[in-house]
Amino acid sequence: MSHAVNSENPMSVLTEAARTVQQRAWAPYSKFRVGAALESTEGKVFTGCNVENASYPAGICAERGALASAIASGARAFVRVVIVSDADTPAPPCGMCRQALVEFAPALEVVSITTGGQTARWSLADLLPFPFTPSSLAHA
Ligand SMILES: [Zn+2]
């Protein structure tokens, strides 16, 4: 799902989109619902929620769900992601999501918000200081 960011206040658009998609999370096992809204450099917003599975490793995080939706729509570069979760303190993306996001947005702004409104901000470069990137595959 995508829609355009209102340039007046991209954060409120992203936060609202993340809150909306969080309500659709499928989290019957952890009861930990997460919504993510990823903004492309073109100003489009792509959302994802966590989708758990009875076979636990088959589940996927909200952030990678949003990324898959964005890539499938043709977006390739991103400026920020807003994550909303049920955690008591703002939850950063897991390691796998950091790795997935760095492929497309090494300098991504990561904003995490609790349902209670507590907010934290990081740069993906700080969350993943030594990323494995396409250039890591280079060999002589
Ligand atoms: Zn994750």
Residue 64 and residue 106: Cα distance in Å, rounded? 15
Query: Ligand 1 centroid vs 96 CA: distance in angstroms?
Result: 5
Q: How far, in Å, from the CA of 135 to the mean position of ligand 1? A: 23
Q: Which one of the listed residues 8, 39, 52, 63 is annotated catalytic?
A: 63
pLDDT in tens, the chain (140 residues): 556 665 567 789 999 999 999 999 999 999 999 999 999 999 999 999 999 999 999 999 999 999 999 999 999 999 999 999 999 999 999 999 999 999 999 999 999 999 899 999 999 999 999 999 989 998 86
| 95-102 and 62-72 helices, crossing angle to 10° | 20
Task: Write down the CATH number for the domain with range 2-128.
Answer: 3.40.140.10
Report pTM: 0.92
Domain residue ranges of the chain, discontinuous segments joined by +: 2-128
CA of 9 to the centre of ligand 1 (A): 26
Q: In angstroms, what is the span from residue 62 Cα to ligand 1's centroid?
A: 7
Query: Is 63 part of the annotated catalytic residue set?
Result: yes
